[in-house]
Amino acid sequence: MTQIKEFLRRGLFTVIVLCSAAACSNNDENEDTNYTLDGIQWAMLNDDKVEETVINIMPEIYENASSSTISVTIDPAMDYEQLSQFYYDDSKFFQPLNQTPNEVNVLTGELVFNDFRYVSEGPVVPFTLEEYAYPPDNHIEETLTIPPYHTLYYNATVIKREVTATYRAYFIGNNSNERIEITGKWKGTFYRNDKSLIRLEKME
């Protein structure tokens, strides 16, 4: 009888060990190692803002000392780089979520709303905690003609817009299908051409 009890005890212990191993295996299988970005929402909360600054560019002078009319193309805003940078309190937590490079639409500051919304328009930038620079996308080139033996004087202003906004991003775990939500800040800088003053003078 004692031998039977010992056999049952050992058998029960083996079953418990096997079940524990199976449970660990299932937990490993459900552990997420990669995530998919499921969307990003935007809002302008109380501590967010839009600020604009007028920049006076250096005057430009173009001389035409020839007997033929020439053309010049001017685009002051293209002398600047626009910037985008996302912020999150825990970079070690952010990086595993965003292993796969993602690109998202960002706010330009033209529309201001204090509830979280999805945005499908606007510049497309990498979703990264590193600063990203790219050329202006809202600019207009001016093509000007200069008559023979004339000098063109060009003065212009450029608008610099700085935007601070709040984002809410959603990620889906590749194994568990668990949806994770993170919230952080984003800062963007934009440039666009404003006003221009053109003067032509005949060369002496």
Separation between Cα atoms, residue 198 and residue 151, nearest integer Å:
10
Instruction: Map residue 100 onto helix, strand or coil.
Output: coil
- At 24 the pLDDT is 44
Amino acid at 198: I
Return the CA Rg of the chain. Answer: 30
Separation between Cα atoms, residue 142 and residue 24, nearest integer Å:
67
User: Is domain 33-202 classified as CATH 2.170.15.10?
Assistant: yes
Model confidence pLDDT, tens digit, residues 106-129: 999 988 898 999 999 989 999 999
- At 29 the pLDDT is 63
- At 28 the pLDDT is 56
- What pTM did the predictor assign? 0.79
Separation between Cα atoms, residue 179 and residue 18, nearest integer Å:
31
- At 124 the pLDDT is 96
- At 13 the pLDDT is 39
**10-residue mean pLDDT series, the chain (204 residues):** 45 41 51 89 95 95 96 94 96 86 93 91 94 89 94 96 97 91 97 94 92
Separation between Cα atoms, residue 130 and residue 87, nearest integer Å:
9
* Tokens read off for 204: 């002496």
Nearest to 145 by CA among 76, 66, 77: 66
β-pair type (124-126, 103-105)? antiparallel
The CA-CA-CA angle for residues 155, 160, 163, to 5°, reads 170
